[in-house]
Structure 1
Amino acid sequence: MADLFENSSYESFPSRDATMKNIKEALESPKVRMIGLHGLSGVGKTTLVKEIIREALQASEAGKLFDVVALANVTRNPDITKVQGIIAETLGMKLEEETDVVRAARIRERLKNKKESTLIILDDLWAELDLKMLGIPLEGSDGDGRRNRSNTMKGTPFENVKEVKSTASSAMKSKKLPSESSSVITEETLSYYKGCKVLLISESKEVLLNQMGGKINSIYFVDVLNKKEAEAFFNKMSGVGARSSEFEKLATQIASKCNGLPMSIVTTARGLKDQSRSVWEDNLLQLERGKFTAANDFSTVLSYNLLENEELKDAFLLCARMGPDALIIDLVKYCIGLGFLQGIYTAKEAWDRVSALVGKLKVSGLLSDSYSSDHFTMSDTVRSAALSIASEEKHVFTMTKGKVDEWPDEDKLERYTSISLHHCDIIDGFPSSINCPKLRVLHVNSNDPQLVIPKNLFHGMKELRALILTDLDLSQFPSSIRCLTKLRMLCLEQCKLDEDLSFISELRNLRILSLSGSDIKKLPIELQHLTKLQIFDVQEHTCESKNASLSELRHLSQLTTLDMQIPNDAHFPKNLFFDKLHSYKIVIGDLSAHSDMDFKTPEKFEALKFLAIQSKDGFDIHSQK
Structure 2
Amino acid sequence: MECLSPFLGEILRPMCDSMCSRVGNAIRFKSNVQALNSVMERLVELRGNINEDHKDKPFRLKIMGWQRNAEEVITKARSKLEERVSCGKSLKSRLSRKLVTILNEARMLEKEGLDLLDMIAVATAHERVEHVPGVSVLHQTTASNMLGKIIDGLRSSEVQKIGIWGMGGVGKTTLVRTLNNKLHEETATQPFGLVIFATASKDFDPRTVQKQIAERLDIDTRLEETVERLARRIYARLEKQTNFLLILDDVWKDIDLDLLGIPRTEEKKGSKIILTSRFLEVCRSMRTDLDVRVDCLCEEEAWELFCQNAGEVARSDLIEPIAKAFSLECGGLPLAIITVGTAMRGKTNVMLWEHALNQLSRSVPWIRSIEEKIYQPLKLSYDFLAGQGKSCFLLCALFPEDYSIEVTELVMYWIAEGFMGEHGSHEDSMNEGITMVESLKDFCLLEDGSRSETVKMHDVVRDFAIWIMSSSQNDCHSLVLPGTGLQEIRQEKFAPSLRWVSLMNNKLERLPHLPEEYCMEASTLLLHGNSLLQEALKGFLQAFPALRILNLSGSSVNSLPQSCLQLSSLHSLFLRGCADLTDLPSLETLAKLELLDLCGTHIKEFPKGLEKLESFKHLDLSRTGHLKTIPARIVSRLSSLETLDMTSSHYHWSVEGEEQEGQATLEELACLECLQVLSISLTCSPSFLTKSNSWIKRLKKFQLVVGSSYVFPMRHDKRRLTISNLNLSQVSMEWLFTCTTSVALNRCQGLQGMIKKLVTSRKIFVNLKSLTIERASINLSGGIEKATTKSPKGSSKTPDLLPFLEELRLRRVNLVSVSELQAQLGLGLILLRLLEVSICGNLKTLSEIDMCTMPNLEEIEISYCESLQNVRQTTAGPQKPFLPKLRVMKLRNLPLLESFCSAGETLNCLEHVEIINCDRLYTLPISSTTCGRIKEIKGGASWWKRLKWENPSTLKTVEPCFKPLKEVLDEKAPDFMSNNLWKR
Between 322-331 and 427-436, the greater mean CA deviation after superposition:
427-436
* The one of 336, 359, 362 aligned to 2:441: 362
CA shift digits 1:144-196 (9 cap, x unpaired): xxxxxxxxxxxxxxxxxxxxxxxxxxxxxxxxxxxxxxxxxxxxxxxxxxxxx
Match 2:380 to one of 294, 302, 316: 302
- 8 Å contact from structure 1 (residues 366, 382) kept in 2: yes
Pairing 1:414–2:492 present: no
Contact kept? 1:271, 1:303, Cα under 8 Å: no
> RMSD between aligned alpha carbons?
5.0
User: Once the 2 structures are TM-superposed, how far is the Cα of residue 244 of structure 1 from its aligned partner?
Assistant: 4.1
1:334 aligns with 2:428: no
Offset, 1:252: 11
Please say if 1:314 is aligned against 2:391: yes
TM-score, normalization by structure 2: 0.34
Q: How far apart in 2 are the matches of 1:388 and 1:246?
A: 34
The structure-2 alpha-carbon separation of the partners of 1:235 and 1:391, relative to structure 1 and needing over 3 Å to count, comes to farther
SS in 2 for 1:496: coil
Residue 440 of structure 1 is matched in structure 2 by 523
1:586 maps to 2:685: no
SS at match of 2:622: strand
CA distance in 1, matches of 2:732, 2:632: 17
Amino acid at match of 1:300: L
Q: Contact conserved, 2:513 with 2:539, CA < 8 A, in 1?
A: no
- 1:479-514: CA deviations, max 9, x gaps? 111210111111111113554423311112111111
1:275-290 equivalent positions in 2, closer than 5 A: none
Change (3 A) 1:376 1:510: same
Counterpart of 1:267 in structure 2 is 278
Counterpart-to-counterpart distance in 2, 1:230 and 1:267: 20
In 1: Cα distance, 2:712 partner to 2:489 partner: 46
Runs of 5+ in structure 2 lacking a partner? 1-134, 151-169, 182-194, 214-245, 252-275, 286-338, 340-367, 655-662, 684-704, 740-984
Q: Which residue of 2 aligns with 1:156?
A: none
Residues 425 and 386 of structure 1, relative CA distance in 2, 3 Å threshold:
same
Q: 1:423 aligns with which of 496, 505, 508?
A: 505
Q: What TM-score, normalized to structure 1?
A: 0.52
CA distance in 2, matches of 1:549, 1:234: 73
Alpha carbons 1:432, 1:455 under 8 Å: kept: no
Q: How many residues align?
A: 390
Q: Is the 8 A contact 1:237 1:269 kept in 2?
A: no
Determine the structure 2 residue equivalent to 1:64: none
Q: Is the 8 A contact 2:565 2:589 kept in 1?
A: yes
- Offset at 1:342? 6.7
Which residue of structure 2 lines up, in the alignment, with residue 573 of structure 1? 665
Deviation, 1:475, is 1.5
- Aligned pair partner of 1:533 in 580, 598, 616: 616
Whether 1:480 aligns to 2:563 is yes
1:253, CA displacement in angstroms? 13
User: How far apart are the structure 2 equivalents of 1:490 and 1:267?
Assistant: 37
- Asked if 1:552 is matched to 2:634, the reply is yes
Task: Report matched runs for 1:125-274 at 5 Å.
Answer: 225=175, 227-229=177-179, 243-246=206-209, 266-267=277-278
State yes or no: 1:449 paired with 2:543: no
Deviations 1:421-445 (A, max 9, x none): 1222336543265621111111102
Q: For the Cα contact (< 8 Å) 2:200–2:249, is it kept in 1?
A: no
Q: Percent identity?
A: 20
Q: What is the Cα deviation at residue 273 of structure 1?
A: 12
Paired letter, 1:554: S
User: Match for 2:389: what amino acid?
Assistant: L
Pairing 1:72-87 to 2, within 5 Å after superposition: none
Q: Are the equivalent residues in 1 in contact too, given 2:201–2:250 (CA < 8 A)?
A: no
The C-alpha deviation readout for 1:261-286, integer Å capped at 9, x for no partner, is xxxx7438989999xxxxxxxxxxxx
Letter in structure 2 aligned against 1:569? W
Q: Which moved more, 1:577-586 or 1:385-394?
A: 577-586
Q: State whether residues 531 and 555 of structure 1, in contact with CA within 8 Å, keep that contact through their aligned partners in structure 2.
A: no
What is the DSSP-based 3-state SS (H/G/I as helix, E as strand, rest coil) of the residue aligned with 1:397? strand
Q: 1:428 to 1:335 in 2, by over 3 A?
A: closer
The verdict on how the C-alpha distance between 1:340 and 1:478 changes in structure 2, with shifts beyond 3 A counting, is: same
Please give the secondary structure, in 2, of the residue aligned with 1:510.
coil
Contact 2:393 2:440 in 1 (8 A): yes
Matched, 1:600 2:712: yes
2:606 pairs, out of 509, 512, 523, with 523
- Structure with more contact order per residue of length (Cα contacts < 8 Å, sep ≥ 6): 1
Looking at structure 2, the residues matched to 507 and 398 of structure 1 have their Cα atoms a distance apart, in angstroms, of 26
Structure 2 residue 395 is matched with structure 1 residue 384: no
Structure ID, larger Rg: 2
CA distance in 1, matches of 2:411, 2:146: 31
1:501 aligned partner = 584
Deviation of the 1:532 alpha carbon = 0.9
2:681 and 2:707 in contact (8 A); partners too: no
Q: Given residue 514 of structure 1, which amino acid in structure 2 is its aligned partner?
A: D
Closer, same or farther: CA 430–408 of 1 in aligned 2, 3 Å? closer
On the 8 A contact 2:514/2:543 being kept in 1, the answer is no
Aligned partner of 1:313: which letter?
A: K
Q: Does the 8 Å contact 1:239/1:273 carry over to 2?
A: no
Note the C-alpha offset of 1:455.
2.5
CA distance in 2 between counterparts of 1:243 and 1:466 reads 47
Distance 1:233 1:586 in 2: 63
TM-superposed CA distance for 1:614, in Å, is: 4.5
Which residue type is aligned with residue 601 of structure 1? Answer: P
CA separation in 2, counterparts of 1:343 and 1:241? Answer: 36
CA distance in 1, matches of 2:205, 2:552: 51
Deviation at 1:234, TM superposition (A): 10
Q: Which amino acid in structure 2 is aligned with residue 390 of structure 1?
A: M
Deviation at 1:335, TM superposition (A): 1.8
Which range is displaced more, 375-384 or 497-506? 497-506
Amino acid at match of 1:538: L
| Residue identity in the other structure for 1:297 | Y
How many Å separate the matches in 1 of 2:551 and 2:637?
A: 24
Cα distance per residue 1:562-603 (max 9 Å; x no partner): 3213333347613122553333443457899867xxx61359
